[in-house]
Structure 1
Amino acid sequence: ASLSFDIIIPPSDKSDTYNDCIIKGDNNTLEIATWNIEHFPKSDITPTEVQSIISYSEYDVWGVQEIEGMGDLKAITNLDSKYSVVLDNDIISGINRNYHLAFVYRNDQLELLEKEILPFSSSPFPRRPLMCKFKRKKDNSTFYIINMHLKAFGDEESEDRRREAARVLKEFIDNKHDNDKVFVVGDYNDVIHPFKESEFQIILNDTLNYKFSDMQLATSDNPREDFSYPGRRWLSHIDHILITNEIFSSFIVAKTLTLDSCSNSYDNDVSDHRPVVAIFN
């Protein structure tokens, strides 16, 4: 007989480093957040800080990108049992190599109904998007949420690949989820304002069916506070939460969490991106 051993990751101690920079969630609203946690975990203290930020927020869903240490992300369930984790690699082993996509969600508020890796080509989608269907326990309503991390850089080929991603994504939602509530979160690696500089014009043009909930952040007069990428190279707003028209009337507000205001070591210890959260009724 062969023996098998489960690796038990002990719960981390909680950290309150970033609490003052977090807008707390509320059980009466639906909070959807997106966060590129650069090369997670990029330092020894990253897991503790990230787990503590997510737990303290009490948000319903976090879509996270650049997950390299999958066990470190899953360990949040030891710290806070009301959170569960869905990783792309648990659906298709080896998918997205070392840059994994995941959802961390409130299991006391939401029930996971479906999970899927979308079968898109690697040219527009170098990381295959992760899609989940959830049911809200408070009213049994359902929604889909897609997590993606698109091609970086501003060269012509990269821009073309993001433009194609926008076309494929819109076609998929239009054809497969025309009457569903759909959120699309992630690191788009692209601006949505000014319009002429965006590779997502095909979506921006369809104002009847699509809206970027974070557009008020993208057009802010205070980009140092409101943009999601404070930037070693350039200040920009490239992390977005797209919603379909079935959700328009539920939208309340979107905010960027300026976690770097709470610690000078945020960039070194946690990420070069800030989380963006959108709140809905």
Structure 2
Amino acid sequence: MLLKYRVLLFAILFAGAGCDDSNGDDVSGDDFGCVTSFEQNRAFEVVTFNMENFPKEQNTIMHVAELIEHVNADVIAVQEISSESVLNGLANQMSGWEYVFTPDPSSDISLGYLYKATEVELIEEATDVWFEDDWWRFPRAPFVIKIRHRESGLETILINLHLKAMGDADDIGRRYQASQALKEYLDTNHPDDFVIVLGDYNDELAEEKQTEDVFANFTDDSENYKFADMSIATGNKDFWSYPGWPSHIDHILMTDEWFDYFDEAITLRPDQCFDDYENYISDHRPVVAVFNLN
């Protein structure tokens, strides 16, 4: 088994809280209805996590550090970071973790990555920001890094995405145009590369819509692209990434180079263990994709 399941028992984070013992559906892969912890092995785990105006409270950095160290994934793409200093502070709370950050010049909700340096290597010269001058389609410019998985030697491009929020026709149109532009760019410039696009897409995959099917250009091209979390999107709403609505809007897209390695996608549900999760950490749940590199 690639995964080891444990209940998150950190005394500070989960004092007085209990976990739901039922998982409801096999979609989540989380038998305890709580938080999965990953073994150190040849599996490669990537996470997208909108941390909602991070840090929300005085103790938020401490709580998030405990959560991330427990989960023990390899790379986390994070959204809504208020400054580089707070992401640096988070990385410094966790042994062996490093970060990379890009400021958003138009707002205080920027993008970044956290990665476990013992498991992956950042190829610094490949770090980039795409579509910087296209604010209409990309109000937060996609943040791109390239990493090498140390154990397997496999290299991949990661694209951290935070698309336009809200649901009026203009907002939907902007997300639709962003999806068109991103796919055209990937098709032209990275047709044979391992690529993962992860983040807060601010739209659903399986919704029956009266308007544009925002990501149809990717889902229709199933020979070249797949959403790792499609089974979550079409499954039990208890495992969706944005429980307050509820909706599933945080996604992990992979190119065909990854298809043979993909194992499963999981929604982590720390809100099931920590009653004040939304107040102290985020209104989003982390979503994980697991790849078997054996």
- Where do 1:179-194 residues align within 5 Å? 179-194=192-207
Unmatched 5+ residue regions in structure 2? 1-9, 20-31
Structure 2 CA distance for partners of 1:63 and 1:138, relative to 1, 3 Å: same
Letter in 2 for 1:108: T
Structure 2 CA distance for partners of 1:277 and 1:74, relative to 1, 3 Å: same
Letter in 1 for 2:264: V
SS in 1 for 2:36: coil
- Tell me the CA shift for residue 74 of structure 1: 1.2
- Where do 1:32-71 residues align within 5 Å? 32-71=46-85
State the TM-score, normalized to the length of structure 2.
0.84
- Residues 15 and 48 of structure 1 are in contact (CA less than 8 Å); yes or no, is this contact kept in structure 2? no
Letter in 2 for 1:204: T
1:214 maps to what in 2? 229
SS in 1 for 2:279: helix
Cα distance in 2 for partners of 1:14, 1:66 equals 27
SS in 2 for 1:129: strand
2:279 maps to what in 1? 268
- Residues 15 and 52 of structure 1 are in contact (CA less than 8 Å); yes or no, is this contact kept in structure 2? no
1:84 to 82, 93, 98: 98
Cα distance in 2 for partners of 1:51, 1:16 equals 10
2:44 maps to what in 1? 30
1:166 to 179, 191, 196: 179
- Where do 1:137-148 residues align within 5 Å? 137-148=150-161
Cα distance in 1 for partners of 2:11, 2:253 equals 32
- Tell me the CA shift for residue 139 of structure 1: 2.1
Cα distance in 1 for partners of 2:252, 2:106 equals 21
- Tell me the CA shift for residue 81 of structure 1: 2.8
1:199 maps to what in 2? 214
Q: Deviations over 1:125-155 (max 9, x none)?
A: 0001100000111122100000011001110
- Residues 156 and 193 of structure 2 are in contact (CA less than 8 Å); yes or no, is this contact kept in structure 1? yes
- Residues 36 and 71 of structure 2 are in contact (CA less than 8 Å); yes or no, is this contact kept in structure 1? yes
Report the RMSD for the aligned CA atoms in angstroms.
Answer: 1.9
Cα distance in 2 for partners of 1:204, 1:99 equals 28
State the TM-score, normalized to the length of structure 1.
0.88
Cα distance in 2 for partners of 1:78, 1:209 equals 38
1:251 maps to what in 2? 262
Cα distance in 2 for partners of 1:40, 1:108 equals 25
- Residues 24 and 58 of structure 1 are in contact (CA less than 8 Å); yes or no, is this contact kept in structure 2? yes
- Where do 1:90-109 residues align within 5 Å? 95-109=105-119
- Residues 39 and 66 of structure 1 are in contact (CA less than 8 Å); yes or no, is this contact kept in structure 2? yes
Give the number of aligned pairs: 261
SS in 2 for 1:175: helix
Cα distance in 2 for partners of 1:138, 1:126 equals 36
1:4 maps to what in 2? none
Letter in 2 for 1:161: R
Question: Does structure 1 residue 279 correspond to structure 2 residue 290?
Answer: yes
- Tell me the CA shift for residue 195 of structure 1: 5.9
2:86 maps to what in 1? 72
Cα distance in 1 for partners of 2:12, 2:46 equals 22
- Residues 76 and 83 of structure 1 are in contact (CA less than 8 Å); yes or no, is this contact kept in structure 2? no
- Tell me the CA shift for residue 194 of structure 1: 2.9
Cα distance in 2 for partners of 1:235, 1:48 equals 27
Question: Does structure 1 residue 112 correspond to structure 2 residue 122?
Answer: yes
1:10 maps to what in 2? none
- Tell me the CA shift for residue 16 of structure 1: 4.7
Letter in 2 for 1:212: F
Unmatched 5+ residue regions in structure 1? 1-12
Letter in 2 for 1:275: P
Cα distance in 1 for partners of 2:270, 2:161 equals 22
